[in-house]
A and B are shown apart, each in its own frame.
Chain A
Amino acid sequence: MADIDITSLGKVFAGAPALQDITTRFEDGEFVALLGPSGCGKTTLLRLLAGFDMPSSGSIRIGARQVATATKMVPPEERNIGFVFQSYALWPHMSVRRNVSYPLEIRKLTKPEIAAQTDAALAATGLTDYADRMPSDLSGGQRQRVALARCLVSAPDAVLLDEPLANLDVALRASMQAVFTDFHKRTGATMVYVTHDQAEAMAMADRIAVMNQGLIQQFDTPQTLYERPKNRFVAEFVGRGTVVPVRAIEHNENQLHAHILGARIAVKSEAQSQVSHVCLRPENLTISETGDLRAKVARVTYLGGKYLLETVSSCGTRLLAETRAKFDVGAQLGLTITTPWAFSED
């Protein structure tokens, strides 16, 4: 169990910066997701935490121990962390039991201790019946559970997970998410989870760090990220929505009004003085004949129980709305906008 402190961390690969000056803190026992598009630096950050790569600048502290600076670092094998790989990285020449017990062998525990702790880890991941199989005889989900058991067995200070569900099919992902959440609850380990799938991050993480171009764009709870994005990238990357520019702004009696798309709309914001953009999510839009603006339906997608309408407003902006009623492509409708989130983008 340990918290993780990251100070001014940077990493340059062959002249190209992959991480730029990251300073943040993961609390003890927290489940943190690193979310971002490919190439955003999330895996680089994870590998620096694990010690597979050395930072170009800055430092990392895990618990009481400074583990990496630009000049010195503790090698991965001495960090007491767990790492779950996208490819599972099970050793194909070892049985499930040996894969799980190997970390204990390294730690030179006695045979009875190894057997007892291995059995406990196998039982906790529901693998007792598969203990003597070889990894090649297991399904994808079972392999991922072996990888999890292997990192659970040595009681690591922190568990790092690199897109562990990316190779699984959709149905299995949901059940494996439950396995990870249970694992986190039971062990209380600090977990850092890299993913490019926002649904996954939202479902499991206490806090999500949204990353882009080697920087953390916003680090907040899933609700805050969705409802109060700090900038255009986060607003567009997390959840569905359209970001539109603000033409003019009015302050009166604690209420903020913004002129967008030719209409005057009441908006919410953090920094009351400076807003430049508004994030319109489907739940901010309701269909009504007396709406703030007129739009034409361009595409209809059935989501099960409701429809997602892609509409084009009279000024040419694409807006997403959800309805229970079906509309035809080309239909004209009115849209009412209810208190969307406004933010300032440099």
Chain B
Amino acid sequence: MQSALQKGGSRSESRLLSAILILALCLTLAPVLRLFIEGVTDQGAPSLSLVKSVLAQGSTLNALKHSLITAGLGTLVSVVLGAAFAFLVALTDLRAKAALVFCLMIPMMIPPQITALSWTQIMGPSSVLLKTLGIAPPLGAPQPLYSPEGIIFLLGIQHMSIIFLTLRAGLRAIPQEVVEAARISGARGFRTWRQVVMPLTLPSLAAGTAITFVTALGNFGIPAMLGIPAGYVTLPTLVYQKLAGMGTTVLGEVSVLAMLIGAVAIVGILVQRFFQGRQKLHLVGSTSRPLAIPLGSARLPVEILLWAVVFVILVLPMFGLLATSLVPAYGVPLRLDTMTLASWGEVLFRQPVTTRSFANSFSLALGAAAVLMMICLPLAWLMERHPTPLSRLFDSLLDLPYALPGVVLSIAMILLLIKLPFTDATLYGTIWIIFLAYLARFFAVMFRPVQASLKQLDPAMAEAAQSVGAGLFQRLRDVILPLSAPAAAAGAILVFLTAFNELTVSALLWSSGTETLGVVIFNLDDSGETAMASALAMTIVFVVMALMTLIQLFSRRFPKGVVPWQT
């Protein structure tokens, strides 16, 4: 019997935790660390000379200025749109809220390059939709979206969902009693909002604003599609242009640029963390009925207005995209006799690049979802059961690869994998570098839902299995896995969805043969094949909507906090 004695009853658990934790740390934080080292050394010795020379370049400062302007003003647009929707949806008695929320989530899930493509299809002289309706501007007129204003506007639309979500979550945490108490005390509608609701939600609004700014700063698809034709360069597009133009010889230089974006982003992330902490402090333990202030006779007009906005920002661009994808050549108006599915057939079945990119994106997204599920499930459970200083540190940092702009992670990945240690082999140029980058980037997307569901799991579930003799792997397989399966499935679908559409990371990491869907849409549009780009984009939109609907259908079975738009 003495042989059965072990040092510590959970030795096997602690060992497994350390093993997976080290793997996860290497995957997510090593690249970021590697990038930092690259920036502050020169041929192995600590040096800031490279940083100084890059920061002194006019193009750097110009791009930084453009990035701050577009991200800042874009965030402002997001705040105005997202906050208006959040207040109305969360506080009032609007009908069909679930449908409204679902529609407002779609802009976030549609990749930015498709947003940009679809909007250019409903504006400008060559818009198929406008030509069909006979209201297109004359040829030669400029595309109004190819401008800083266009970038700001689309960034605003793309990220309004983030503001909407964080603010709505904050608003739902306000108990009805708080507002009722204000009204009993004699405060009327607007006054209640200004003096009670607003102060309580300011922290979540501030946190949402900060993270929106970080996301807008890292956005590559929109400034690339709209800014490059206009010669308006932001930091992410500058990195892309340098790397695409001169290859890995400028790696040191783009590392500094990536660090610059990263530094600005980290300031934003810290601001967000600060306000998130304050929000928790404010509303501890309040979970009663949510608010539903009656709008009275204003309800119908408000509803019409909100749905009209949804129509303009969501449906109209999709019509534009659809119209363009159905014409034989870009610029031809869409009529019954000109309508053709030629572009669809071309991208779906004939073009080797597009079919290959489908296969690439599909296997990358599926592989990332599967591998992340296998890592995150045991890791989240073990971290919940055995919190150690290291696991707590990891918990606070694991969002970084997702929160940091994709350009930063891509450069970090190139630095880490361009020459594998102890060998001459390189992963740069292979599909594996994209795969590893996806694992790092989408780690948090998988980990957080699983963690949320395991936090709600009664620890006695696993202890009961332990008391009847189940070992560590039996407990994981028979109890933890089935009980967190819905959350893991939701996480996997979200990873698949985001990875399938991804552009920023792969734009810097792809090479011939490893194109992803995002890259191909970007390249098709860049080379003037707008009809084909539209058809491909439309396909992706359908896939996105189908997967989102799938999650929505099963949302009742997921624990609270798993589906991002149902917080």
Interface residues of A (CB under 8 A from B): 50-54, 64-66, 68, 71-83, 85-87, 89-93, 102-103, 106-107, 147, 150-151, 154, 160
Contact = CB atoms under 8 A, between A and B. Distances in A.
B48 to A, nearest CB: 43
List the 4 closest A-B pairs by CB distance, nearest first: A103-B468, A89-B460, A83-B467, A89-B464
Given A72-B7, A90-B464, A103-B468, 4 more contacts: A71-B7, A73-B9, A75-B12, A79-B467
Sorting the interface of chain B by its residue count into under 10, 10 to 19, 20 to 34 or 35 or more gives: 20 to 34
Interface of B: 1, 4-12, 458, 460-461, 463-471, 474, 478-479, 482-483
A62 to B, nearest CB: 11
A92 B457 CA distance: 11
B486 to A, nearest CB: 10
B459 to A, nearest CB: 9
A151 to B, nearest CB: 7
B458 A91 contact: no
A236 to B, nearest CB: 32
Q: Which of B471, B478, B482 has the most CB of A within 10 A?
A: B478
A72 to B, nearest CB: 5
B468 A89 contact: no
Contacts of A77: 466-471
Contacts of A51: 9, 466
A304 B419 CA distance: 86
Contacts of A87: 458, 460
B465 A102 contact: yes
A107 B474 CA distance: 12
A82 B478 CA distance: 18
A50 B467 contact: yes
27 contacts: A50-B467, A52-B463, A53-B9, A64-B1, A71-B7, A73-B6, A73-B9, A74-B4, A74-B6, A77-B468, A77-B469, A77-B470, A78-B4, A80-B469, A82-B468, A83-B464, A89-B458, A91-B464, A91-B465, A91-B482, A91-B483, A102-B478, A103-B468, A106-B470, A150-B464, A154-B468, A160-B467
A91 B91 CA distance: 38
B469 to A, nearest CB: 5
A82 to B, nearest CB: 7
B469 A103 contact: yes
A89 B461 contact: yes
Nearest to A82: B467
Nearest to B461: A89
Contacts of B461: 89, 91
A163 B482 CA distance: 27
B5 A73 contact: yes
Given A50-B467, A52-B466, A85 B6 contact: no
A323 to B, nearest CB: 45
A83 B463 contact: yes
Residue from the set B1, B465, B467, B471 with the largest chain A CB neighbour count within 10 Å: B467
Nearest to B460: A89
Contact of B469 (A90, A107, A160): A107
Contact of B463 (A85, A106, A107): A85
A106 B10 contact: no
A87 B458 CA distance: 8
A150 B466 CA distance: 12
Contact of B5 (A72, A80, A151): A72
Contacts of B11: 75
A154 B6 CA distance: 23
Given A77-B470, A151-B468, A52 B1 contact: no
B470 to A, nearest CB: 5
Contacts of B5: 66, 72-74
B305 to A, nearest CB: 43
Contacts of B479: 91
Contacts of A76: 9, 463, 466-467
Contacts of A91: 461, 464-465, 478-479, 482-483
B2 to A, nearest CB: 8
B483 A93 contact: yes
A54 B8 contact: yes
B467 A106 contact: no
A124 B479 CA distance: 26
Contacts of A53: 9
Nearest to A69: B5
Contacts of A74: 4-6, 9
A61 to B, nearest CB: 11
A47 to B, nearest CB: 9
B74 to A, nearest CB: 45
A156 B562 CA distance: 39
A52 B469 contact: no
Contacts of B458: 87, 89
A11 to B, nearest CB: 13
A108 to B, nearest CB: 10
Contact of B468 (A52, A73, A106, A160): A106
Given A80-B469, A93-B482, A102-B478, A75 B464 contact: no
Nearest to B1: A65
A151 B478 CA distance: 17
A80 B470 CA distance: 11
Contact of A85 (B464, B482, B483): B464
A151 B465 CA distance: 10
Contacts of A150: 464, 468
B1 A102 contact: no
A75 B9 contact: yes
Contacts of A52: 9, 463, 466
